Structure 1
């Protein structure tokens, strides 16, 4: 649901979706620094629970990974580390997150990353009929069927959400 006269950008994420024949819709909105999923949900008039954030994190060896979480939930890094069999998981500093993913923070998509990264998805995301996830630019989401995540990404399902 892009605004009239606006054109959705072509990004590594949208190229990835097209290459893997994943149906998606584009949604542009005015980006607000530090606005997060609350802003995108408000602007698109959708539930923040169905807006999925892509978080770039690292383990104790500085190995990067992606975590997909509901917009209205936080990640228990302690629980995530336990489920992954790692000692520690922590968010990456923005410059390292950009280096690992190829995307600016606030525009990170799990699709079309610079290099393949392990993807951990909160299990209840897969129960939603439709999710809104970053399309590779700030102020740009794509809506997809969450089952397509499992089809094209090597996702590992976790239960690490906290309210």
Structure 2
């Protein structure tokens, strides 16, 4: 299994693992997951890595239909600017491939920020660490295990 699943099992967290057949031609990974699993897109969250102007890498978790507001992420992280990390850099830092980057079980624990849209939700879906594999868990468990802070990060 993936490091993300192992981390949840080790923590004794309640979660559900959902799988689907990933189309290797797609690059819209989150949309594919929502469609394949029959979920509303705003219940599926994508995990993005960004580099801050002070050199730190951070993780941002936002709903699939939204864009990451890089200025808002920089503010939340106490920096002036942020830019999306290079995909190869994201893969090296997390140990996962793009399209399968999970916020859990990463090689190195990075500062993590979770969009405030999770408030009031009982469960959200995030990558389980492999394309075609999703985790369903409570946002509070995700925040606790990643050390994530909530912030307004998403732009529709």
Q: State the TM-score, normalizing by the size of structure 1.
A: 0.90
CA distance in structure 1 between the partners assigned to 2:89 and 2:143 by the alignment: 26
Hey, what does 1:152 align to over in structure 2? Answer: 145
For 1:114-153, what aligned pairs fall within 5 Å after superposition?
114-153=107-146
> Partner residue of 2:4?
13
Q: Distance in 2 between matches of 1:160 and 1:101?
A: 21
- Rounded to whole Å, the distance in 1 between the matches of 2:119 and 2:30 is 18
Task: Write the distance in 2 (CA, Å) between the matches of 1:41 and 1:83.
Answer: 28
Paired with 1:30 and 1:56, the residues of 2 have a C-alpha distance of 25
Give the Cα separation in 2 of the matches to 1:109 and 1:82. Answer: 23
Cα distance in 2, alignment partners of residues 140 and 126 from structure 1: 24
Q: What are the Cα deviations for residues 48-72 of structure 1, in whole angstroms up to 9, with x where unaligned?
A: 0000111111111331110010111
Pairs aligned (count): 154
Q: What does 1:2-41 correspond to in 2, within 5 Å?
A: 10-32=1-23, 33-41=26-34
Q: Which whole-Å CA distance do the structure 2 matches of 1:61 and 1:132 have between them?
A: 31
Contact 2:7 2:105 in 1 (8 A): yes
What CA distance in whole angstroms lies between the structure 1 residues aligned with 2:104 and 2:78? 25
Kept in 1, the 8 Å contact 2:59–2:113? The answer is: yes
How far the C-alpha of 1:36 sits from its partner, in A, is 2.1
Q: Which runs of 5+ in 2 are unaligned?
A: none
Alpha-carbon RMSD: 1.2
Deviation for aligned residue 1:45:
0.4
Tell me the distance in 2 between the aligned counterparts of 1:15 and 1:85. 31
- Structure 2 distance, partners of 1:122, 1:43, is 23
Cα distance, 1:111 vs. partner?
0.7
**Which runs of at least 4 in structure 1 moved beyond 3 Å after TM superposition?**
none
Conservation of the 8 A alpha-carbon contact between 2:97 and 2:130: yes
